[in-house]
Amino acid sequence: PKKELVQKIASIGKSLEGRELPVIHLSSAGTGKKVIWVSGGQHAREWIAPAAVMYVIDSLVNGYGLNDRITKLLNSFEVVLAPTINPDGYEYSRTRFRYWRKNRRRNADGSFGVDLNRNWDIHWCELGASRSPNSDIYCGAKAASEPEVYQTQVYIKGLNNRVAGLDIHSFGQMVLRNPGWSSIPTIEEAHLRGLGDTMSQAMNAVFGNDYSSDLSSGLYPTGGSMDDWMFYGAGMPGFTVELRDHGQYGFLLPADQIVPTGQEVLA
């Protein structure tokens, strides 16, 4: 039965406004499997990210036993997926201001929001971030000050046998590998580059779109980002995957591109 593949964690904690942070575990029977983490929705306006993660959940559950690659994946690994870890920001983007990026922290100066992807407890606010609460890249009052980040950090650290993490964003069509805080590659560069190249090639093979593979710092250097925390803080390669498109629609990706983008992420 398909339901035996699924363990739903109703909430790993709550957002600032009290919304739950749900997580889905997918795997066939068996214990001690290596764990792959997949999350989306850190940036509220990037609607395609949580939609693509939901597409992957649906495809893995319904493809098990019918699709050889999916069956092999879930027989060998446990995939843990969090569709959105910024539900407050997403709701604000959906109902009030479409281009909202941050969470909904009320800051001391009366402004709102912390950029969750500058708030992780690794090289926090050292570069590529702002200490100005009004900024779209405001890093927060301290590392992991935001409950959405802190609770996700705790949950990931509690996963045994974790081997890789994917943080889904948009847009730009890129697979970005560690590090994001430095232009100097890690000692694992050859391995990480190989993984990134293989992922981008798999995404390109679906529809012929040109997803590139690069260092995260090649896009722009950042401190306090999730992908670097996954590598340096959680001991597993951390990738930022920027989905469609190259900017023609940007954050306003048409609905008819949701499923095709999800298919690229699934690949």
For residue 207, the number of C-alpha atoms closer than 13 Å in the C-beta half-sphere is 15
SS3 sequence of the chain? CHHHHEEEECCCCECCCCCECCEEEECCCCCCCEEEEEEECCCCCCCHHHHHHHHHHHHHHHHCCCCHHHHHHHHHEEEEEECCCCHHHHHHHHHCCCCCCCCCCECCCCCECCCHHHCCCCCCCCCCCECCCCCCCECCCCCCCCHHHHHHHHHHHCCCCEEEEEEEEECCCEEEECCCCCCCCCCCHHHHHHHHHHHHHHHHHHHCCCCEEEEHHHHCCCCCCHHHHHHHHCCCCEEEEEECCCCCCCCCCCHHHHHHHHHHHHC
Residue length, the chain? 267
Distance separating alpha carbons of residues 148 and 39, to the nearest angstrom: 12
Q: Active-site residue 188, yes or no? A: no
Active-site entry in 46, 78, 146, 242: 242
Cβ atoms < 10 Å from Cβ of 259: 12
Residues with catalytic function: 242
